[in-house]
């Protein structure tokens, strides 16, 4: 099992950055169907309507639980691209700079479309 940080310049030990523990955690852990873990900023992950509903549901997470979401139908190569899109969207939403194209490899386009539909993002 591997841990992938989507943010540039951060390592696996994100304790200095707030961590994934508790309801006010700065990060959430998204786990793909093949066991890869992606730690992303909570504010970025909340751009997904589905993730937002999962994390804000009543009684979902207590302070001692980690904010982890397991996606049984989304493989790591697709979830990685979804996480990259969260960062892209956060960076360029309401931006006055020119928005670059978000590249999508044709071989994952259909899987990515299905994941985006499920995640409402």
Tens-place pLDDT, residues 47-58: 999 998 888 766
Mean predicted lDDT score pLDDT of the chain: 83
Identify the CATH number of the domain in which residue 81 sits: 3.30.710.10
Considering the entire predicted model, what is its pTM? 0.78
Q: How many domains does the chain have?
A: 1
Task: Please return the burial class of 32, using the count of CB atoms within 10 Å of its CB with bins 0-12, 13-18 and 19+.
Answer: buried
**pLDDT for the residue numbered 53:** 86
> Where in the sequence is the domain holding 60, given as residue range(s)?
3-119
Would you state the pLDDT for residue 58? 65
Question: Which residue ranges in the chain fall short of pLDDT 70?
Answer: 1-17, 23, 57-66
Residue given tokens 């994100």 in the structure block: 14
């Amino acid at each position: 099992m591997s841990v992938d940080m989507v943010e540039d310049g951060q390592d696996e030990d994100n304790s200095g950055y707030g961590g994934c523990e508790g309801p006010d955690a700065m990060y959430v852990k998204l786990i793909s169907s093949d066991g890869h873990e992606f730690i992303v900023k909570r504010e970025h992950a909340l751009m997904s309507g589905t993730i937002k509903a999962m994390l804000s549901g009543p009684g979902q997470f207590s302070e001692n639980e980690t904010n982890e979401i397991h996606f049984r139908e989304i493989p790591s190569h697709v979830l990685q691209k979804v996480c990259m899109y969260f960062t892209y969207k956060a960076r360029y939403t309401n931006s006055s700079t020119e928005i670059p194209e978000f590249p999508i490899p044709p071989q994952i386009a259909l899987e990515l479309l299905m994941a985006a539909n499920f995640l409402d993002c």
